[in-house]
Amino acid sequence: MSENCTHDCSSCGETCSERENDFRAPLNQYSSVKKVIGIVSGKGGVGKSLVTSLLASEMQKKRHKTAILDADITGPSIPKAFGITEKATGCEFGILPAVSKGGIDIMSINLLLEDDTEPVVWRGPVIAGTVKQFWSDVFWNDEEYMFVDMPPGTGDVPLTVFQSLPVDGIIIVTSPQELVSMIVSKAVKMAKLMDIPILGLVENMSYINCPDCGKQIKIFGESHVEEIAKEYNIKVLDKIPIDPDIASACDKGEIEYLDKTLVPNAVDAILN
């Protein structure tokens, strides 16, 4: 135990061996999950769920058994992107995740709500408890890679979720209009606190390709993501353009069929 430990892990920043075991939810006894990757962002709407969906789709296309745990309980957009409308079912081993057309196992609060247009107005501990149940009560059948779409921000809820799941690495999603420096610095501090490696950054909405001349137009101005990443010794893995095909694929529930490879370096970083 660290000499600075306050014996209250919820407020103490020290990394003790005890901390690891304190909040971890047990994995369902019939499940097997080899690697857990958390996708984080500073706020909602920057494309965290999109990047989660792309990572899972591109990983599954590489013939790795892939799952998504949608921990964004108050803003679940994963089922929509994959066109999943059915509700969760169960078997003797636990709750069964929905399976996308491409074979990705998916668990989201929308699979449990009777009416998924109803807002989830739960307090932090209930949200964190739900995510723990997604880990413990769902039957995750032989998953090689699980992508966790984290609650946005770096506050109490994402922190508790981090403490509950054995996250092996995180990918930070930013967009050029965000206060990237602050967000990266917060994410880095949170990852350090949790002792989780940062695999790198993905910048979404980096530019638009002009449909006439093909030139990249940086509508939010020059991005400073490279400088900031350098400052924190993190890699910028991929830059995703604003693309009507992406928006349309998400709206139609066909993100898996998007005929573009948008996060190749992030997938490689996870595989290596």
> DSSP letter at 38?
E
| Interaction of residue 100 with ligand ADP, rule CB under 6 A | no
Q: What are phi and psi of 58, to 5 degrees?
A: -70, -35
| Interaction of residue 271 with ligand ADP, rule CB under 6 A | no
Helix (H, G, I), strand (E, B) or coil at 168: coil
Task: Give, for 203, the enclosing helix (H) or strand (E).
Answer: strand 198-203
Helix (H, G, I), strand (E, B) or coil at 251: helix
Nearer to ligand ADP, 95 or 109 (CB): 109
Nearer to ligand ADP, 95 or 255 (CB): 255
In the complex, the smallest distance separating the C-beta of residue 51 from ligand ADP, rounded to whole angstroms, is: 7
In the complex, the smallest distance separating the C-beta of residue 9 from ligand ADP, rounded to whole angstroms, is: 28
Give the list of residues 6+ apart from residue 268 with CB closer than 8 angstroms, or none: none
> Which one of residues 116, 243, 254, 268 is an interface residue with ligand ADP (CB under 6 A)?
243
Nearer to ligand ADP, 22 or 251 (CB): 251
| Interaction of residue 36 with ligand ADP, rule CB under 6 A | no
Nearer to ligand ADP, 54 or 95 (CB): 54
Q: Where are the alpha helices (DSSP H) in the chain?
A: 17-23, 48-61, 78-81, 124-136, 156-164, 180-194, 225-231, 244-252, 264-271
Which residues form the interface with ligand ADP (CB under 6 A)? Answer: 41, 44-50, 75, 77, 204-205, 240, 242-243, 246-247, 250
